[in-house]
A and B are shown apart, each in its own frame.
Chain A
Amino acid sequence: LAKTTQPISMDSYEGQEVNITCSHNNIATNDYITWYQQFPSQGPRFIIQGYKTKVTNEVASLFIPADRKSSTLSLPRVSLSDTAVYYCLVGVEDSSYKLIFGSGTRLLVRP
């Protein structure tokens, strides 16, 4: 059974680095791993995407091990405005191809 799992919640303080891991044991061979951020009453917003190893952009880094069965979103020096829910998204091969969002990680950044 394809599952995409994330921690339910995480707490952090301003200025700290936050790492959120998503497990995706049935990821499709050719699919990317994508992470989204969602604020209340808004649609998800793209953060970063990668296929393997490490990807970095202006807001985050994404670490993907060789087996690609997990990925870690790294947010450097979080601020209060990073308080949101973070979702991973992968395509998985189960009985058929499916797009699956992780269950979401609610990040709370404290002053």
Chain B
Amino acid sequence: DTAVSQTPKYLVTQMGNDKSIKCEQNLGHDTMYWYKQDSKKFLKIMFSYNNKELIINETVPNRFSPKSPDKAHLNLHINSLELGDSAVYFCASSQEGRGGMSAEAFFGQGTRLTVV
């Protein structure tokens, strides 16, 4: 069983579209995250959720919105996609956090988003 799984693995879409990336963790963790990795391999946190409460919201465009239907899921919705949104998006989870990843975090395999 994959600990943190995200779908789809690849996503190619046109500018202006709305898309979602799903993430599920079966580790029973309290905190889930979304990270963006750009073409230069820089990793930046976008959001984290702890028990369905947003505890970090970095300065990302409001076109991006995390949705957590339950503790095991944190989906990423993106509206009006732009070329600059092309990147790899990683979901992760950990057992604790005040937004900090003080515990070991487990990452999904990533979703490569290409906006054309």
Contact present for B43 and A87 (CB under 8 Å): yes
Closest residue of chain B to A42 (Cβ to Cβ) is B109
Q: Which residues of A contact B104 (CB under 8 A)?
A: 34, 46, 49
* Complex interface: stretch among A10-18, A58-66, A75-83, A99-107: A99-107
> CA A71 – CA B115 in complex, angstroms?
37
Instruction: Give the number of chain B interface residues (Cβ < 8 Å).
Output: 23
Contact present for B100 and A31 (CB under 8 Å): yes
- Asked if B21 CB lies within 8 Å of chain A CBs, one says no
Q: Sort chain A's interface into a size bin.
A: 20 to 34
- Complex interface bits, A78-111 against B, C-beta within 8 A gives 1, otherwise 0: 0000000101010100000111010110000000
Contact present for B44 and A28 (CB under 8 Å): no
Contact present for A28 and B43 (CB under 8 Å): no
Q: Which residues of B contact A91 (CB under 8 A)?
A: 99-101
Q: Which residues of B contact A7 (CB under 8 A)?
A: none
Binding site for A on B (CB under 8 A): 4, 41-45, 48, 56, 58, 90, 92, 98-102, 104-110
Binding site for B on A (CB under 8 A): 28, 31-32, 34, 41-46, 49, 85, 87, 89, 91, 97-99, 101, 103-104
